[in-house]
Chains A and B, each alone.
Chain A
Amino acid sequence: MDNYLIVASMIFCIGALGVIIRKNLIVIFMSLELMFNAANLGFVAASNRLNLISGDIFVIFVIVVAAAEAAIALGIAIAFYREKGTVDIDMANELKN
């Protein structure tokens, strides 16, 4: 199971890295999705290993939540684009100090 977890962790880190270094909103959302899916992978692997079902249930919930979040994300992204005319997050620097 360790290997699964390691893979999951690597995916998680990739996602996190993506969130950190990319400036395009859409890509950032995708990276976030990646992080969630890394978690999902971990759950599936774990529940399979422990042959329990609860992990899989959790995964389903996570997928639902991720979907909902994606909806919100796009809503906010559109609003942002409408105001700023771009999806570059560096444009979001009105609130500071």
Chain B
Amino acid sequence: MHNMPSIYGINFLEKSMLSIIPETVIIIFAFMVLFLTFFEKLAKRKNSYYLSLIGICFSILYVLMLSGSNIYGFYGSVVFNSFDVFLFIAILFSGMFTVLMSKDYMENSEMPVPEYYSLILFGLSAMMFLVSSNNLIMVFLSIEFMSICAYILTGYIKGNTRSTEAALKYFILGAFASAFLLFGAVFIYASTGHLNLYAIHSFLQNISYADSISRSGGMGIKVYISVGLILFLVGLAFKMSLFPFHSWTPDAYDGAPTPITNFMATGIKIAAFAVFLRIYSLIYNFNIMNFNDILWLLAVFSMTFGNIAALLSSNIKRLLAYSSIAQAGYILVGIIGGGFYGYSGTLFYLFSYIFMTAGAFAVVVIFESSDIISLDIKRYSGIGYKYPFIAASMAFFLLSFAGIPLTSGFMGKFYVFSSAVKSGYNWLVVIALLNSAFAAFYYIKIIVKMYMPDEEPVSIIRGAIDDGLMITIIICLILTLLMGVYPQIFINFANNSADSLWRI
């Protein structure tokens, strides 16, 4: 347990400000982008685009500057340590990719642009807050903040019924789920009397110590806590899109503008997993009850359902949505595996997951047009010869999803699975491996379409490909390959951040 008083020092305000600098930078830039709308001639599409990119870069800069420091701000309700550094970088990457993709996408829609980018930036800051939040209030607030941005962005395209419907579904389900989360918070608070995670942590330590000496101690409290934790888990599992709480995923992914889909698939998922990891490492893994059983079920159901549902779906965005459900299952395997090895594996997987997903969605954006048919995988038949580089990279990302070696996907899977084997969850791993075996089918289905068209290739009307997209694809390609071939650097990075989970 860390020494709480340290944050009650004289200069705690500076400390506190320091702890949230990256978020602050993003927010400032978000407002700047927003203000652009007031000035007619500045309100060009490009300006806001570049401005938001600059903001993200600045934020990354600050994160790197702060890396290594271990700060508690605002009475310990915000924490900044290497765990956050890792995840901030991840999230900022996903935000950067989203922005890069958006330029091209926004150009052929007549929606107001600056608001769009500012919303993305606000969403980013919310995610970062979520990651570094160390207090149930902070968690709830930032989740809501993040979700609200996401709701708006999902329904951003006016007059597109699909978009609106997606927003509607996402919103109702999201609010419903956060109600559960909130109610869970109630139970936790009622039973422990704390909102600060560390405080709850120590409280639970005492309880488990207490009934380690006398089995009688605090049974009623344990029930309350467990119910609270379960309800809380429901709220988070919704954001992580695990099986019974997944149902928004395909529709929201499908209806939302594709860059936003990427934003949800990478940013929100990672933030949710990050906060879950933090809370799990602090609270769940006490012997209040065996949460791993529940997680085990969730993981197995998620991956199996995701893969099976994806097998036949012909709409690429829905296919990727289902596959992301399955991926969530795989990531959860790492958390179940637990221990230092498992956490760092999970983080590594999350990090690698960004790049493959972003790359894949970038390719989707390239071949997407206003009509709905553009999302059918038939659209991809024969592009292997028209656009060799893009098709090759798409194939590579898909292989990475499938977990073929030389891709980051394999290393990530390998890492989390071996951690699970290490803690003795053999059946879980076997199921996961079988899953990834038949999951390969629908990834390969797309590759077949791209390189071995059986029907006449659909002629794609497509001008010059936007630089942003190309940059995205190239970065994703390089990193996916690098993490697949020489993952050690990233593993070290993940190890540091996993390490900081223990140093509390």
Contacts and interface: CB of A to CB of B under 8 A. Distances in A.
**A/B touching: CB–CB < 8 A:** yes
Interface of A: 1, 5, 8-9, 12, 15-16, 19, 25, 28, 32, 35-36, 38-39, 42-43, 45-47, 49-50, 52, 54-55, 57-58, 61-62, 65, 68-69, 72-73, 75-77, 79-80, 83-84, 89, 92, 94-97
Interface string B178-202: 0100110111011001110000000
Contacts of B164: 76, 79-80, 83
Interface string B159-183: 1011011111101100110010011
Nearest to A28: B172
Contacts of A76: 151, 155, 164, 167-168, 171
Given A12-B183, A69-B144, A72-B148, A32 B175 contact: yes
B115 interface: no
B171 A72 contact: yes
Contacts of A79: 155, 158, 164, 167
Contacts, number: 120
Given A50-B193, A69-B148, A76-B164, A39 B183 contact: yes
Contacts of B144: 65, 68-69
14 contacts: A32-B172, A32-B179, A39-B179, A39-B185, A42-B183, A46-B190, A47-B189, A61-B137, A62-B182, A65-B141, A65-B144, A76-B168, A83-B161, A94-B255
Interface in B301-348: 313, 318
B452 interface: no
Q: Which of B136, B140, B168, B171 has the most CB of A within 10 A?
A: B168
Given A5-B187, A12-B183, A69-B175, A61 B168 contact: no
Contacts of B159: 83
A25 B224 CA distance: 33
B189 A46 contact: yes
Interface in B181-233: 182-183, 185-187, 189-190, 193-195, 224
B199 to A, nearest CB: 10
A91 B179 CA distance: 25
Nearest to B138: A61
B251 interface: yes
Contacts of B179: 12, 15-16, 32, 35-36, 39
A25 B152 CA distance: 17
A95 B136 contact: no
A1 B187 CA distance: 11
A69 B176 CA distance: 11
A35 B190 contact: no
Interface in B213-269: 224, 250-251, 254-255
B303 to A, nearest CB: 20
A95 B162 contact: yes
Contacts of A77: 168
- Across chains A and B, which 4 residue pairs bring their CB atoms closest together, nearest first? A42-B186, A46-B190, A35-B179, A95-B251
A73 B189 contact: no
Contacts of B185: 39, 43, 58
A28 to B, nearest CB: 6
Nearest to B155: A76
B171 A73 contact: yes
A12 B228 CA distance: 14
B244 to A, nearest CB: 14
A94 B172 CA distance: 16
A95 B166 contact: yes
Nearest to A92: B165
Given A5-B224, A69-B148, A79-B167, 9 more contacts: A8-B183, A12-B183, A15-B179, A16-B179, A39-B185, A61-B140, A79-B155, A79-B164, A95-B169
Contacts of A36: 179, 182
Nearest to A91: B165
Contacts of A62: 140, 182
Contacts of A5: 186-187, 190, 224
Given A69-B175, A95-B254, A46 B148 contact: no
Q: Which of B151, B155, B175, B195 has the most CB of A within 10 A?
A: B175
Contacts of B172: 19, 28, 32, 89
Contact of A54 (B141, B175, B195, B318): B195
Q: Which of A42, A45, A47, A92 has the most CB of B within 10 A?
A: A92
Interface string B135-153: 0110011001000100110
B183 A35 contact: yes
A18 B143 CA distance: 24
A25 B190 CA distance: 32
Contacts of B152: 72, 75
Contacts of B168: 25, 76-77, 80, 89, 92
